[in-house]
Chains A and B, each alone.
Chain A
Amino acid sequence: MSAQGEAPEGGPTERTPLVTEMVEALAPLGATPRDRLGQTHLTLPAASIREAVRSCRSAGFDQLSDVMGIDWLEFPRHQGPRFTVVYNLYAIGANERLMLRVEVDDGERVPSITPQWRAASFMERETYDLYGIEFEGHPDLRKLITPEDMEGHALRKDFPIGETPTLFNDGRFLDPASFRAGMLGRDPGLTGWKGGTRKGVRSDEEHRHHDASRAVPTDRGGEGSGS
């Protein structure tokens, strides 16, 4: 899933002119493109994100839609760093969208684009709050939406969702997670249901939540992108 110039998902994509221009312009910075369902994503090294955003903005991508993080900890057969930061850029005049991706590990820092683009201020703070990815150079990097006294980063896959077990009228205490475990295909849970044809992860596999670099074997052939 880490984009290293792999085959496009969802079929071949015809790239729009401004995006094609940016793919070429950012190639010297180490950008590798990948198309996902018609949308071009460029993966860059973290150090060159400021330069890349600057040149995209001067080329015509004048709206920063979003800066978001993705935690690949529990993604099946993921190789590479744990987090990805996706920058969602949109050109209003040309009506084209480009996604820049930066892959970082836990503890690595990403240069902040807030000094050059104020729109990233809240977005980077939110990504820091929910994932713990630090943005170097952000004027005011602190928690945005979670309580001040809450420790931990809420959207990481090893942060528990914190469900209160439900007490039923007949006295049973049921933990909602075990109800759902069967659906995720992770473990049989209370019902013994093994999750059926869930692609990607075998249902009788053990998961270590803190082990990010699992190589997960599977006996289903032809497992890849697309269905």
Chain B
Amino acid sequence: MALTELFEKDVMELERDGILFSSLGKLVAWGRSKSLWPATFGLACCAIEMMQSTNPRNDMARYGSEVFRASPRQADVMIVAGRLSKKMAPVMRRVYEQMPDPKWVISMGACASSGGMFNNYAIVQNVDSVVPVDVYVPGCPPRPESLLYAVLQLQKKVQGKAFDQQGVELPMVEGWHRP
């Protein structure tokens, strides 16, 4: 970045001729964010809305999530769609560990984010206690448009362009340093 400030005029000339400047980190982040392939982890009602977000009306594929990979080894993002029961929690942890770095998690719906309307012995009250969550999506179930917005927010987070509520820029998430 400092380099382009020094050579501002030359950079503008070169860009007019079709040569773009970036850093490797930004390019890689751009590539990663524009092709986030989700792993199928639909649990309950939110899974139906997740399926609906791939239908022609709300098309998630145009944002890069071309296919939902069944095998976690080929997926980038895990969309936890639905209520996570305590019996399923170790299974989810194992699926998360099978995903290669960098990986992200979207917690879709009220039940995944906070236990939702099920405050009882059977449901994990926040998926964050099992896997680290990047984006929470409220709703019961969230509309497909909400899920698409969440995917776009995740893309911004991956690129390092995400801001929190106070307007402070959030650090870019690098997948391989996460626990």
- Residues of A with Cβ closer than 8 Å to B? 146-148, 150, 154, 159-164, 166, 176
* A160 touching B125, Cβ below 8 Å: no
Say how far A129's CB is from chain B's closest CB, in angstroms: 12
Among the stretches B63-71, B114-122, B149-157, the one at the interface with A is B114-122
Residue from A150, A160, A163, A166 in contact with B86 in the complex, judged by beta carbons closer than 8 Å: A150
Say how far B112's CB is from chain A's closest CB, in angstroms: 15
* A146 touching B122, Cβ below 8 Å: yes
* A161 touching B86, Cβ below 8 Å: no
The 5 closest A-B pairs by CB, nearest first: A162-B121, A147-B87, A163-B119, A161-B120, A164-B125
Residues from chain B with Cβ under 8 Å of A166 in the complex: 119
* A147 touching B86, Cβ below 8 Å: yes
Which residue of chain B has its CB nearest to the CB of A147? Answer: B87
Residues from chain A with Cβ under 8 Å of B122 in the complex: 146, 154, 162
Say how far B127's CB is from chain A's closest CB, in angstroms: 14
User: Complex formed: what's the CA distance from A146 to B120 in Å?
Assistant: 13
Majority secondary structure, B binding face: loop
Say how far A67's CB is from chain B's closest CB, in angstroms: 22
Residues from chain A with Cβ under 8 Å of B121 in the complex: 150, 154, 159-162
Contact digits for B109-139, partner A, Cβ 8 Å, 1 yes 0 no: 0000001000111100100000000000000
Residues from chain A with Cβ under 8 Å of B120 in the complex: 161-163
Residues from chain B with Cβ under 8 Å of A159 in the complex: 121
* B119 touching A146, Cβ below 8 Å: no
Residues from chain B with Cβ under 8 Å of A150 in the complex: 86, 121
Residues from chain A with Cβ under 8 Å of B119 in the complex: 163-164, 166, 176
Say how far A147's CB is from chain B's closest CB, in angstroms: 4
* B87 touching A146, Cβ below 8 Å: yes
Which residue of chain A has its CB nearest to the CB of B119? Answer: A163
User: Complex formed: what's the CA distance from A58 to B84 in Å?
Assistant: 44
Q: 17 more A-B contacts (CB under 8 A) besides A161-B121, A162-B121? A: A146-B87, A146-B122, A147-B86, A147-B87, A148-B87, A150-B86, A150-B121, A154-B121, A154-B122, A160-B121, A162-B122, A163-B120, A164-B115, A164-B119, A164-B125, A166-B119, A176-B119
Residues from chain B with Cβ under 8 Å of A146 in the complex: 87, 122
Say how far B80's CB is from chain A's closest CB, in angstroms: 18
User: Complex formed: what's the CA distance from A154 to B87 in Å?
Assistant: 14
Say how far A42's CB is from chain B's closest CB, in angstroms: 34
Residues from chain B with Cβ under 8 Å of A148 in the complex: 87
20 interchain pairs, CB-CB under 8 A? A146-B87, A146-B122, A147-B85, A147-B86, A147-B87, A148-B87, A150-B86, A150-B121, A154-B122, A159-B121, A160-B121, A161-B120, A161-B121, A162-B121, A162-B122, A163-B119, A163-B120, A164-B115, A164-B119, A166-B119
Residues from chain A with Cβ under 8 Å of B125 in the complex: 164
Which residue of chain B has its CB nearest to the CB of A145? Answer: B87
Residues from chain B with Cβ under 8 Å of A160 in the complex: 121
Say how far A142's CB is from chain B's closest CB, in angstroms: 14
User: Complex formed: what's the CA distance from A216 to B90 in Å?
Assistant: 45
User: Complex formed: what's the CA distance from A146 to B115 in Å?
Assistant: 17
User: Complex formed: what's the CA distance from A161 to B123 in Å?
Assistant: 11
User: Complex formed: what's the CA distance from A154 to B120 in Å?
Assistant: 11
